[in-house]
């Protein structure tokens, strides 16, 4: 049975957002829904196996060693949060799973500060179980490691930095472990860390991340679309006071983001993260934005993280070199390059209920229209409010 062995087997940005939610929005509630972008067909009995794996998560707890490691890496987070996390337990009753034929439904509901941790581990469990229950066989362990070594030999020549962002759609825990072990043993300084806090601890590297789309999606539910980016970043800076300064730019399209990314925030944040749409066009827009604010783009950084492989990375480096700082978060191409079809799934916030508010549908307007999430009528409303043309 696919199972998690550590509560830290999750992406760093989930914990950093949880800390901010506990501080600012402790009474907010959220609903999430699984989206099967790849139209994968799930085998008979899949839902039952997934329920068993999720039920097993109720026993996970933060150990003293994990608490010490996590706190030592995050001096900007209050000690009270790590005490809170030590007492946190997953509640499987917050997760509802149904299967009709080959179609899978997964929904999550509860207080946002609690449910925020479910997304990444559930996605990783769905992937691992899907491959477990398939007759297809992945390449052997040595081949997995050699694939990573071959990629890093090419990346090293680009003189760049790379982090692993591959937890959500990894083939399995075992493959992820092999990948991080291989990356960490790479003799160059190309590999700088991982989004997975458990593996950061296991391999004594840096946990990397800031916030995700749901941070801004909630702010839209509470404050409206026109204020979502601005107040989302203001609140983030209120909590972290200059740390964790990479801003996610594409929750409501990059064009809208830069209109709301005022000079104060542009100076305060270290850079931005690209997660959808054409990477070169995004770099052009970003450079132009910094120049329009009188800021040298070379003092800022773009973190590229959208479906990267070597060819995409090489093109980005060729364009950005000498113009702006850059680094890369590589996910599925590291953790699910094992000779099988890679899964294309997401699990996104669907509705939010701010304190003293009503349940409100939330959406994401990616720079890539195929990545939009949310109800069509709400997407239409958001486009009208934000003056986004199709």
* Angle, helix 12-24 to helix 213-223, in steps of 10 degrees: 20
CATH of domain 12-136+345-374: 3.20.140.10
Using pLDDT thresholds of 50, 70 and 90, give the confidence band for residue 254: very high
Average pLDDT over residues 146-161: 98
Given phi > 0 = left and psi -120 to 50 = alpha, else beta, which region is 72?
Answer: alpha
What pLDDT, on the 0 to 100 scale, is given for residue 371? 81
What pLDDT, on the 0 to 100 scale, is given for residue 2? 87
For 349-375, the pLDDT digits (tens) are 999 999 999 999 999 998 888 788 999
Average pLDDT over residues 378-388: 95
DSSP codes of every residue in 261-300: --HHHHHHS-EEEE-SS-HHHHHHHHHHHHHHTT--GGGS
Average pLDDT over residues 84-106: 98
What pLDDT, on the 0 to 100 scale, is given for residue 53? 98
For 273-301, the pLDDT digits (tens) are 999 999 999 999 999 999 999 999 999 99
Superfamily per CATH, domain 141-335: nicotinate phosphoribosyltransferase (3.20.140.10)
Average pLDDT over residues 174-185: 98
Average pLDDT over residues 49-53: 98
Q: Does 96 score more than 90 pLDDT? A: yes
pLDDT, mean over the chain: 97
Range 223-227, long-range pairs (CB < 8 A, 24+ positions): 224/385, 225/252, 225/382, 225/385, 225/386, 226/260, 226/385, 226/386
Average pLDDT over residues 154-181: 98
Output the CA–CA distances (angstroms, integers) from residue 328 to 19, 259, 359, in the order listed.
Answer: 25, 25, 36
For 295-354, the pLDDT digits (tens) are 999 999 999 999 999 999 999 999 999 999 999 999 999 999 999 999 999 999 999 999
Percent of the chain with pLDDT over 90: 97
Burial of 21 (0-12, 13-18, 19+ CB in 10 A): buried
DSSP codes of every residue in 3-21: --S-TT-SBHHHHHHHHHH
Domain with CATH 3.20.140.10 in the chain: 12-136+345-374, 141-335
Q: Does 149 score more than 80 pLDDT? A: yes
What pLDDT, on the 0 to 100 scale, is given for residue 368? 86
The string over 256-265, giving b where at least 16 C-beta atoms fall within 10 Å of a residue's C-beta and e elsewhere, is bbbbbbeeeb
Q: Read off the pTM.
A: 0.97
């Amino acid at each position: 049975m696919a199972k998690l062995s550590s509560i830290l087997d999750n992406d760093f940005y989930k914990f950093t957002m949880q800390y901010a939610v506990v501080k600012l929005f402790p009474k907010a509630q959220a609903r999430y829904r699984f989206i099967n972008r790849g139209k994968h067909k799930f085998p008979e009995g899949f839902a039952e196996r997934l329920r068993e794996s999720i039920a097993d998560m109720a026993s996970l707890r933060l150990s003293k060693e994990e608490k010490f490691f996590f706190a030592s890496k995050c001096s900007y987070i209050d000690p009270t949060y790590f005490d809170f996390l030590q007492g946190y337990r997953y509640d499987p009753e917050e997760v509802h799973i149904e299967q009709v034929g080959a179609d899978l439904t997964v929904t999550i509901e509860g207080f946002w500060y609690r449910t925020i941790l479910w997304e990444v581990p559930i996605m990783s469990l769905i992937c691992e179980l899907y491959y477990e229950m398939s007759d297809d066989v992945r390449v052997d362990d040595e081949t997995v490691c050699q694939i990573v070594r071959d990629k890093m030999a090419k990346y090293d020549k680009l003189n760049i930095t790379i982090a692993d962002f591959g937890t959500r759609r990894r083939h399995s825990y075992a493959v992820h472990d092999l990948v991080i072990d291989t990356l960490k043993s790479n003799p160059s300084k190309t590999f700088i860390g991982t989004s997975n806090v458990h593996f950061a601890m296991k391999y004594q590297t840096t946990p990397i991340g800031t916030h995700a789309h749901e941070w801004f999606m909630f702010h839209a539910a509470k404050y409206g679309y026109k204020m979502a980016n601005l107040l989302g970043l203001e609140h983030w800076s209120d909590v972290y006071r200059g740390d964790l300064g990479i801003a996610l730019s594409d929750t409501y399209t990059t064009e809208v983001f830069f209109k709301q990314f005022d000079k104060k925030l542009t100076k305060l944040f270290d850079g931005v993260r690209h997660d959808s749409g054409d990477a070169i066009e995004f770099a052009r827009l970003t450079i132009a934005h910094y120049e329009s604010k009188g800021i040298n783009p070379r003092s800022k950084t773009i973190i590229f993280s959208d479906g990267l492989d070597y060819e995409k990375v090489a093109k980005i480096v060729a364009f950005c070199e000498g113009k702006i700082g850059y680094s890369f978060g590589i996910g599925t191409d590291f953790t699910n390059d094992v000779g099988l079809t890679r899964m294309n799934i997401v699990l996104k916030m669907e509705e939010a209920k701010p304190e003293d508010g009503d349940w409100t549908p939330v959406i994401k307007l990616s720079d890539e229209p195929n990545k939009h999430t949310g109800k069509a009528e709400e997407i239409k409303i958001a486009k009208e409010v934000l003056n986004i043309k199709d």
